[in-house]
Amino acid sequence: MGAKRAVLVGINYPGTKAELKGCHNDVARMRRCLVDRFGFDESDIRVLVDADGASWQVLPTGANIRRELARLVGDARPGDLLFFHYSGHGTRLPAETGQDDDTGYDECIVPSDMNLITDQDFTELVQKVPHGCLFTIVSDSCHSGGLLDKTKEQIGHSTRQNQAQRRELEERSGSSTSFRSFLKETVRDVFESQGIHLPRRGHGQSGHGDDSDEKPRDIDTDSTTDVHIKNRSLPLSTLIEMLKEKTGKDDIDVGSIRMTLFNLFGDDASPKIKKFMKVILGKLQQGEHGGVMGFVGALAQEFWKAKLEGKQEEELEPAMKQEVHSVQEVYAGTTARVPSNGVLISGCQTDQTSADATTPKGASYGALSNAIQAILAEHGTVTNKELVLKARKMLSKQGYTQQPGLYCSDEQASVAFIC
């Protein structure tokens, strides 16, 4: 057996519009579980939390999380066991290239500084794991079902497959239907960026953009009676508000989010964000101002003007040095080949929200993280598939509508969790 190493990230966003309560506790419990149950050495567990007073603390900024994950994978050898636990907000970015066929979403986790990490970042990270080394990811967040995009869905309700089927039907009935669907989502995102939340039908507790507090239904255990629930989903409107606060600019809106992230974080921004910037800058340089400028907004115009004047060559270098072979590479939702040595356990499906719960006695936790700890305490070895099925059953019994998912190969589904 090789080495066992882990990176644990818990983000409560204290004092912000995005504040959660249970993420630090999730990480602390998982850290103790890795040591006591799975035999990890404490020195091989890196913990990133936005809390005061922890001697082992590293702030969970986007750059720090990427750095720790790169180190985790970079040092891996065949036979090693790698583990990443994330408790915090998830969000999704709509398309911003202005291309007619770029109609997807990038699912992201939300570091403490808003320096988003995209699903493609995770997919490309897992691809670097050497053969014979397993990388398990637990993401107790919203919009987490696609973090290893295109990986086989072992347990879930096939959100992406359903979307593909709808697109196929739309294509059969005419492209106007597809355009109307895209337009509807675009209009929704514009309203949300202005703080206006439009209800979605058919998701119950699990609506995409709803950041309201909710209670689980029909709770039948003492520990979850009258539990206070928040969603671990960061609405687009809140993300934009927080970016405005960080930058001091009021012109950030749907269409300039990626530009803003690059402007803020430069070389520390998501690789996919940097590739997106290279494509947009290339379009602007070639004089394709029409549709593109309508999407990327005034901030892009100011940014490009500064480049023409030669004032920000160094700032643009992180984007220009990226390798991009086609514009489709930066489309929202586009990822590379399927990784075969990664296991993703998601807190919910891509169209649901994960619960951040606080009991009347003040105990806070993520619903999935709490279920995992309860199942491990009750059982001996459990496979990845058994763990997720038991978690689904437990959460349903407790009254939560979120449905954890499992994404991995057939072989990894029957492998013991973490062991």
Decide if pLDDT at 79 tops 50: yes
Question: What confidence tens digit (pLDDT) does each residue in 177-205 have?
Answer: 333 444 444 444 444 444 444 444 333 34
Question: Tens digit of pLDDT for each residue in 86-108?
Answer: 999 999 899 888 777 787 888 89
In a domain, residue 352? The reply is yes
Q: In the predicted model, what is the mean pLDDT of residues 361-382?
A: 94
Domain membership of residue 140 as a residue range: 4-165+206-232+338-413
Higher pLDDT, 153 or 173: 153
- Angstrom CA distances, 193 to 1, 141, 189, 238, 377, stand at 50, 21, 6, 8, 43
170 domain-assigned: no
Position 113 confidence tier, pLDDT thresholds 50, 70, 90: very high
Report pTM.
Answer: 0.81
Can you list the alpha helix ranges (DSSP code H) found in 133-256? Answer: 159-173, 175-193, 236-247
In a domain, 124, yes or no: yes
pLDDT tens digits, one per residue of 116-126:
999 888 888 88
Least confident of 20-29, 190-199, 244-253, 329-338: 190-199
Q: Which value, to the nearest 10 degrees, does the dihedral of the CA atoms of residues 244, 245, 249, 250 take?
A: 60
Tally of CB atoms within 10 A around 174: 9
Q: Residue 184: what pLDDT? A: 46
Residue 353 pLDDT level (bands cut at 50, 70, 90): confident
Instruction: Provide the CATH number for the domain around residue 134.
Output: 3.40.50.12660
Cα distance between residue 18 and residue 10, in whole Å: 13
Q: How far is 332 from 329, CA to CA, in rounded Å?
A: 9
Residue 135 neighbours by CB under 8 Å, 6+ apart: 73, 76, 82, 83, 84, 126, 129, 341, 342, 343
Q: Which of 157-166, 307-316, 397-406 is predicted with the least confidence, judged by mean pLDDT?
A: 157-166
Q: How far is 294 from 414, CA to CA, in rounded Å? A: 49
What is residue 378's predicted lDDT score, i.e. its pLDDT? 93
d(CA 181, CA 162) in angstroms, rounded, equals 14
Distance (Å, rounded) from C-alpha 50 to C-alpha 53?
Answer: 10
Q: What integer is the mean pLDDT of 200-226?
A: 41
Q: The tokens 């990986």 sit on which residue?
A: 151
Q: Please state the domain count of the chain.
A: 1
Residues that are catalytic: 89, 142
- What is the pLDDT at residue 398? 92
Question: For position 153, what pLDDT does the model report?
Answer: 59
Dist CA 369 CA 372 (whole Å)? 5
What are 323-348's pLDDT values in tens digits? 998 888 888 875 544 456 788 898 88
**What six digits make up the tokens of 299?**
């901030």
DSSP state letter for 95? P
- What is the predicted pLDDT for the residue at 171? 41
Residue 173's CB is within 10 A of a number of other CB atoms, namely: 10
User: Residue 19 contacts by C-beta under 8 Å, 6 or more apart in sequence?
Assistant: 12, 13
Contacts 24+ apart (CB under 8 A), 280-283: 280/97, 281/307, 281/316, 281/319, 281/320
For residue 5, what are the CA distances in angstroms to 79, 133, 261, 377, 382? 12, 11, 30, 21, 20
Classify residue 110: in a domain, yes or no: yes
Give the per-residue pLDDT at 335.
53
User: What number is the average pLDDT over the span 66-83?
Assistant: 94
